[in-house]
Amino acid sequence: MHSVCVYCGSRAGTDPVYAEAATAMGSAIAHRAMTLIYGGGSVGLMHATAEAALAGGGRVVGVITELLMQREVGHTGLSELHIVENMHQRKKMMADYADGFIALPGGLGTLEELFEVWTWRQLGYHNKPIGLLNVQGYYDPLLDFLAQSREQGFVRTEVLAPLVVEADPGRLLDRMVGSQPVQDDPWWRMREAI
Protein backbone atom coordinates (compact mmCIF):
# COMPACT_ATOMS: atom_id res chain seq x y z
CA MET A 1 0.00 0.00 0.00
CA HIS A 2 1.78 3.09 -1.27
CA SER A 3 -1.05 5.58 -0.91
CA VAL A 4 -4.01 5.87 1.40
CA CYS A 5 -7.14 7.97 1.04
CA VAL A 6 -8.29 9.46 4.32
CA TYR A 7 -11.89 10.57 4.80
CA CYS A 8 -12.48 12.77 7.84
CA GLY A 9 -14.33 15.76 9.19
CA SER A 10 -14.10 19.28 7.85
CA ARG A 11 -14.71 20.19 11.49
CA ALA A 12 -12.47 19.35 14.44
CA GLY A 13 -15.19 17.99 16.71
CA THR A 14 -15.82 18.84 20.33
CA ASP A 15 -12.99 16.79 21.86
CA PRO A 16 -9.31 17.63 21.14
CA VAL A 17 -8.61 13.88 20.96
CA TYR A 18 -10.00 13.84 17.41
CA ALA A 19 -7.50 16.40 16.14
CA GLU A 20 -4.74 14.55 17.99
CA ALA A 21 -5.73 11.32 16.24
CA ALA A 22 -5.83 13.07 12.85
CA THR A 23 -2.35 14.47 13.49
CA ALA A 24 -1.12 11.02 14.51
CA MET A 25 -2.61 9.53 11.34
CA GLY A 26 -0.88 12.08 9.11
CA SER A 27 2.42 11.45 10.89
CA ALA A 28 2.02 7.66 10.63
CA ILE A 29 1.34 7.90 6.90
CA ALA A 30 4.44 10.06 6.35
CA HIS A 31 6.56 7.79 8.58
CA ARG A 32 5.65 4.81 6.37
CA ALA A 33 6.54 6.80 3.20
CA MET A 34 2.96 6.56 1.96
CA THR A 35 1.17 9.26 0.02
CA LEU A 36 -1.84 10.83 1.71
CA ILE A 37 -4.81 11.32 -0.61
CA TYR A 38 -7.60 13.47 0.84
CA GLY A 39 -10.26 16.05 0.04
CA GLY A 40 -7.84 18.98 -0.21
CA GLY A 41 -9.33 21.03 2.62
CA SER A 42 -7.60 23.42 5.00
CA VAL A 43 -10.17 23.04 7.77
CA GLY A 44 -10.98 20.61 10.58
CA LEU A 45 -9.51 17.15 10.80
CA MET A 46 -8.67 17.29 7.11
CA HIS A 47 -6.24 20.13 7.81
CA ALA A 48 -4.71 18.40 10.84
CA THR A 49 -4.06 15.19 8.90
CA ALA A 50 -2.52 16.97 5.90
CA GLU A 51 -0.34 19.28 8.01
CA ALA A 52 1.05 16.37 10.02
CA ALA A 53 1.86 14.39 6.88
CA LEU A 54 3.60 17.39 5.32
CA ALA A 55 5.51 18.10 8.54
CA GLY A 56 6.71 14.49 8.50
CA GLY A 57 8.09 14.91 4.99
CA GLY A 58 5.21 13.06 3.37
CA ARG A 59 3.61 13.56 -0.02
CA VAL A 60 0.05 14.91 0.19
CA VAL A 61 -2.37 15.00 -2.73
CA GLY A 62 -5.61 16.93 -2.35
CA VAL A 63 -8.68 16.81 -4.58
CA ILE A 64 -11.22 19.58 -4.15
CA THR A 65 -14.15 20.97 -6.11
CA GLU A 66 -14.17 24.40 -7.72
CA LEU A 67 -16.99 25.50 -5.39
CA LEU A 68 -15.09 24.57 -2.24
CA MET A 69 -11.95 26.20 -3.59
CA GLN A 70 -13.90 29.41 -4.21
CA ARG A 71 -15.04 29.31 -0.59
CA GLU A 72 -11.34 29.43 0.36
CA VAL A 73 -11.22 26.11 2.14
CA GLY A 74 -8.62 24.56 -0.22
CA HIS A 75 -5.14 23.85 1.14
CA THR A 76 -2.66 25.60 -1.15
CA GLY A 77 0.51 24.17 0.41
CA LEU A 78 0.15 20.54 -0.72
CA SER A 79 2.42 18.42 -2.89
CA GLU A 80 -0.42 18.39 -5.45
CA LEU A 81 -3.86 19.97 -5.45
CA HIS A 82 -6.37 18.94 -8.10
CA ILE A 83 -9.40 21.17 -8.61
CA VAL A 84 -12.33 19.35 -10.21
CA GLU A 85 -15.81 20.38 -11.27
CA ASN A 86 -17.99 18.29 -8.95
CA MET A 87 -18.11 15.83 -6.06
CA HIS A 88 -18.42 12.79 -8.32
CA GLN A 89 -15.14 13.65 -10.04
CA ARG A 90 -13.54 14.40 -6.69
CA LYS A 91 -14.45 11.05 -5.15
CA LYS A 92 -13.48 9.09 -8.26
CA MET A 93 -10.07 10.75 -8.50
CA MET A 94 -9.39 10.16 -4.82
CA ALA A 95 -10.37 6.50 -5.15
CA ASP A 96 -8.31 6.02 -8.30
CA TYR A 97 -5.17 7.45 -6.65
CA ALA A 98 -5.52 5.38 -3.46
CA ASP A 99 -4.36 1.87 -2.60
CA GLY A 100 -6.54 1.84 0.53
CA PHE A 101 -9.13 3.88 2.40
CA ILE A 102 -9.46 5.04 6.01
CA ALA A 103 -12.30 6.89 7.70
CA LEU A 104 -11.48 9.02 10.73
CA PRO A 105 -14.25 10.64 12.79
CA GLY A 106 -16.40 12.90 10.67
CA GLY A 107 -19.93 13.76 9.67
CA LEU A 108 -22.24 13.01 6.77
CA GLY A 109 -19.61 13.47 4.06
CA THR A 110 -17.20 11.10 5.78
CA LEU A 111 -19.89 8.46 6.21
CA GLU A 112 -21.04 8.85 2.62
CA GLU A 113 -17.49 8.43 1.29
CA LEU A 114 -16.83 5.41 3.51
CA PHE A 115 -20.01 3.65 2.49
CA GLU A 116 -19.57 4.46 -1.19
CA VAL A 117 -16.08 2.97 -1.41
CA TRP A 118 -17.21 0.00 0.72
CA THR A 119 -20.16 -0.55 -1.62
CA TRP A 120 -17.81 -0.37 -4.60
CA ARG A 121 -15.76 -3.15 -3.00
CA GLN A 122 -18.88 -5.24 -2.39
CA LEU A 123 -19.81 -4.83 -6.05
CA GLY A 124 -16.34 -5.87 -7.21
CA TYR A 125 -15.11 -2.51 -8.52
CA HIS A 126 -11.98 -2.71 -6.37
CA ASN A 127 -10.33 -4.95 -3.79
CA LYS A 128 -8.51 -2.33 -1.72
CA PRO A 129 -8.37 -2.45 2.09
CA ILE A 130 -10.76 -0.29 4.10
CA GLY A 131 -10.07 0.88 7.63
CA LEU A 132 -11.92 2.70 10.38
CA LEU A 133 -10.04 4.73 13.00
CA ASN A 134 -12.32 4.28 15.97
CA VAL A 135 -11.09 7.11 18.19
CA GLN A 136 -12.53 6.90 21.70
CA GLY A 137 -15.27 4.59 20.46
CA TYR A 138 -16.63 7.21 18.04
CA TYR A 139 -17.76 4.54 15.61
CA ASP A 140 -19.06 2.03 18.20
CA PRO A 141 -22.73 2.90 17.50
CA LEU A 142 -22.13 2.47 13.76
CA LEU A 143 -20.45 -0.89 14.31
CA ASP A 144 -23.40 -1.97 16.48
CA PHE A 145 -25.80 -0.91 13.73
CA LEU A 146 -23.84 -2.87 11.12
CA ALA A 147 -23.92 -5.95 13.37
CA GLN A 148 -27.69 -5.52 13.65
CA SER A 149 -27.96 -5.22 9.86
CA ARG A 150 -26.07 -8.50 9.55
CA GLU A 151 -28.27 -10.19 12.17
CA GLN A 152 -31.40 -9.02 10.37
CA GLY A 153 -30.16 -10.42 7.05
CA PHE A 154 -29.44 -7.18 5.19
CA VAL A 155 -25.63 -7.40 5.14
CA ARG A 156 -23.58 -10.54 4.68
CA THR A 157 -20.76 -11.32 7.12
CA GLU A 158 -18.39 -11.52 4.14
CA VAL A 159 -19.13 -7.88 3.31
CA LEU A 160 -18.35 -6.69 6.84
CA ALA A 161 -15.26 -8.86 7.30
CA PRO A 162 -12.76 -6.76 5.27
CA LEU A 163 -13.26 -3.66 7.45
CA VAL A 164 -10.18 -3.14 9.64
CA VAL A 165 -11.02 -1.33 12.89
CA GLU A 166 -8.40 0.10 15.25
CA ALA A 167 -8.11 2.99 17.70
CA ASP A 168 -4.40 3.58 16.95
CA PRO A 169 -3.37 5.02 13.54
CA GLY A 170 -0.10 3.08 13.30
CA ARG A 171 -1.72 -0.25 14.14
CA LEU A 172 -4.50 0.45 11.67
CA LEU A 173 -2.06 1.15 8.83
CA ASP A 174 0.09 -1.87 9.70
CA ARG A 175 -2.92 -4.19 9.75
CA MET A 176 -4.15 -2.83 6.43
CA VAL A 177 -0.71 -3.26 4.83
CA GLY A 178 -0.45 -6.78 6.25
CA SER A 179 -3.90 -7.87 5.18
CA GLN A 180 -4.13 -10.33 2.34
CA PRO A 181 -6.42 -9.12 -0.41
CA VAL A 182 -9.41 -11.40 -0.68
CA GLN A 183 -11.64 -11.13 -3.70
CA ASP A 184 -15.11 -10.61 -2.33
CA ASP A 185 -17.82 -12.56 -4.09
CA PRO A 186 -20.05 -9.82 -5.53
CA TRP A 187 -23.62 -9.89 -4.29
CA TRP A 188 -25.12 -10.73 -7.67
CA ARG A 189 -23.19 -14.00 -7.80
CA MET A 190 -24.66 -15.17 -4.53
CA ARG A 191 -27.44 -17.72 -4.84
CA GLU A 192 -29.07 -16.51 -1.65
CA ALA A 193 -30.46 -13.07 -0.92
CA ILE A 194 -28.16 -10.55 0.69
Establish if 185 belongs to a structural domain.
no
81 located within any domain: yes
Q: The CATH number of the domain where 85 resides is what?
A: 3.40.50.450
The answer to whether residue 13 sits within a structural domain is yes
- Whether residue 95 is predicted with pLDDT greater than 70 in this model: the reply is yes
Total structural domains within the chain: 1
Q: Kindly state whether residue 59 falls inside one of the protein's structural domains.
A: yes
> Is residue 186 in a domain?
no
Which pLDDT tens digit goes with each residue over 25-80?
999 999 999 999 999 999 999 999 999 999 999 999 999 999 999 887 899 999 99
Instruction: List pLDDT tens digits, range 111-149.
Output: 999 999 999 999 999 999 999 999 999 999 999 999 999
Q: How confident is the model at residue 2 (pLDDT cuts 50, 70, 90)?
A: very high
| pTM of the entire predicted model | 0.91
Q: Does 148 map to a domain?
A: yes
Q: Where are the alpha helices (DSSP H) in the chain?
A: 16-31, 44-55, 66-70, 87-97, 108-122, 140-151, 157-160, 169-178
Instruction: Give bridge partners of residue 165 from the DSSP assignment.
Output: 132
- Which pLDDT does position 178 carry in this prediction? 85
Taking the CA atoms of residue 118, residue 24, residue 56 and residue 42 in that order, the dihedral angle to the nearest 10 degrees is 70
In terms of residue numbers, what domain contains 104? 3-176
